[in-house]
Amino acid sequence: MQQYGGVELSTSYRFEYVLHGLTPYIAVAGNFLDNKTQVKAQTFGNPDRNRLFAQTWTFSANAGAIYPLTERISLNFSLFYTPLWVKRPPATDSENDALFNVRASISYRWG
C-alpha cells in the first residue's frame, strides 16, 4: 500500500517578441511517502514473508524550456533532479543515489 501527498511550485515566463516565444520554467516539489509492502518471494530456497515499511520525504527540482516551432508544434526540453537517500544494511550510513534525467519531446496541440 502506498499513501503519499505532495506539493509543487512552478513559474515560467514567455519571451513573446525577443526570443520568438521561448518559455523557460522552473519548479520545485516536495512529497511525503508512506509505503508498506508484503514480500512474497523465495530467498535461497526459503520463503521470505517480511513486511517492509518506509516513511520519507523527497524533494525535486525541474527546469526546462518550451520553444514553439509552429502555432501548434513545440519543442520541449527539461532537466529533473531529486536526491534519494538510501541505507543499505549492514551499513548504517545513508548515501545519495540521486535521480537525474534529461527529457526532450515534441508536442502537438489539437484545436
pLDDT in tens, 1-29: 889 899 999 999 988 878 888 999 999 99
pLDDT in tens, 50-98: 888 888 889 999 999 999 999 999 999 999 999 988 888 888 888 889 9
Q: Where are the beta strands (DSSP E) in the chain?
A: 2-12, 23-38, 41-43, 46-48, 51-68, 73-82, 85-87, 94-96, 99-108
Domain boundaries, the chain: 2-108
Phi then psi for residue 59, to 5 deg, are -130, 150
**Which pTM does this prediction carry?**
0.72
Contacts of 42 (CB under 8 A, 6+ apart): 48
CA-CA distance, 103 to 48, in Å (whole number)? Answer: 38
CA distance 66 to 2: 33
